[in-house]
Structure 1
């Protein structure tokens, strides 16, 4: 099995891709690159037994889409008068999956509708179209081989201290050492320096690990009554179980 992790940015210079090969009781990082184009991502998953995890929202909140559409056409929001307070805005700001993430890790993820993350999500929407055109199954609710992942959230659920790791290379070095101590079966090869130097590269590696949890089905899927919503808004795959559980079954796979 191969898992591909992508830390997507609005442009190629901030985008990183990691590939992990899982076999024979171990996992090996075989590729870690920055400056990734959409075509690179598509090519990475169109051959072999590949699963793709992208750190980017795959959709927008239903309420936000309805609000903008109604305002655009008639100048009147579908939900009635605009109140402007936080409670009124929240359904427009956060997807259903974002509420679940907050329940799991104790903090809100960035909002795809009100933060700069929305610019990246526009690129993500284009990437989904390119994947579909290449014959890759595209499903936003984690029902196929494509997952929306959250590297920082996965690390916290695995018990790591993520304080400042996105902005501090020293913190990334400490975190990588802690991860390798917990996972001696994970061979990072010659890519450790790049992962420490570039936060995007580090998150791509974690995205590839989190994608393994998705491939094994070790995550909580959307509740049946929310499945239709997740197919529109997207669903964040947060790992269930410890980091060590990612190697279960590797001998039989090899």
Structure 2
């Protein structure tokens, strides 16, 4: 099985892609590409069994409805709710579930700069559909939305304080802890890049999360959540320890 992790930013300069090959009870990092452009990302997804994308796959339904109503001049604000009514405009259902489950709050796709990355993501999803690989935003198809910080926390690994060049020491400690927790993970010639670039490390974590999704070891939307997730997207949270990624599955697939 080949899984891909994509740490998606608005521009190629901060985007990284990682390829993990799973066979014989091990995961080998075949490649990490920093500065990944759209063409590379699409080709990576097309060639993978599963791709984990660290970026929202959609906007909150209530935000879309709000903007549509505002354009037409028909916005109606609920009475007596103060500022709380804006929560559902800023956060998707999956964002609120992640907060409930992990205590972490994903960036708001409608009220933060991550919206720029999501615009890029929307174009990538359209291109994948054009090539015959449409994306199920609930995570059931070729692509699953992931959140590296939440994955790391749920796997008992450091999940804060390793971003940006000023925190490269903490990033190195995270890589140390990851390799201790997953002795079956071989970063090969790309280990130094992972120690120097949080984008590269997040791409690797996203590829690990993609494997978890392929094996059914992640949360999935249920009931009304599933209907909303079809348009908003769904962050797949790991539901099993890290070592289950190699204790299940075989060389050929899940």
TM-score above 0.5: yes
Per-residue CA shift, 1:171-210, capped at 9, x if unaligned?
A: 1110111110111111000111111111111100100011
Q: What residue number does 1:66 align with? A: 65
| Cα drift, residue 245 of structure 1 | 0.7
Cα deviation code 1:62-117 (max 9, x no counterpart): 1100000100122x31x436889431210101100001100111121110000001
Aligned residues: 251
Instruction: State the alpha-carbon separation in 2 of the partners of residues 105 and 225 from structure 1.
Output: 21
Q: Residues of 1 paired with 2:106 and 2:9: CA distance?
A: 16
Distance in 1, Cα, partners of 2:168 & 2:101:
27
Unpaired runs of 5+ residues, structure 2, are: none
Contact 1:26/1:250, CA 8 A, preserved across alignment: no
Alignment-derived partner of residue 113 in structure 1? 110
Kindly state the Cα deviation for residue 253 of structure 1 after the two structures are TM-superposed. Answer: 3.7
CA distance in 2 between partners of 1:44 and 1:70 (Å): 38
TM-superposed deviation, 1:252: 5.9
Using the TM superposition, name which of 207-216 and 162-171 deviates more.
Answer: 162-171
2:163–2:198 CA contact under 8 A, matched in 1: yes
Who is 2:77 aligned against?
Answer: 80
CA distance in 2, matches of 1:220, 1:162: 19
Asked if 1 retains the 8 angstrom alpha-carbon contact of 2:6 and 2:18, the reply is yes
Q: Which residue of 2 aligns with 1:207?
A: 206
Instruction: Kindly indicate whether the alpha-carbon contact (under 8 Å) linking 1:20 and 1:28 is maintained by their aligned counterparts in 2.
Output: yes
> 1:221 aligns to what SS in structure 2?
coil
TM-score, normalised relative to structure 1: 0.94
Secondary structure of residue in 2 paired with 1:165: coil
Structure 1 residues 225 and 163 mapped into 2: Cα distance closer, same or farther (>3 Å)? closer
Shift of 1:161: 2.0
Matched, 1:93 2:90: yes
- Following the alignment from structure 2 to structure 1, what is the Cα–Cα distance between the partners of residues 184 and 33? 22
SS of 1:28's partner is strand
Any residues of structure 2 matched to 1:156-195 within 5 Å, and which? 156-167=153-164, 168-195=167-194
State the superposition RMSD in angstroms: 1.6
Q: 2:137 aligns with which of 129, 137, 140?
A: 140
Counterpart residue number, 2:150: 153
- Displacement of 1:224 in angstroms is 2.2
Q: Do residues 127 (structure 1) and 124 (structure 2) align?
A: yes
CA distance in 2, matches of 1:165, 1:236: 21
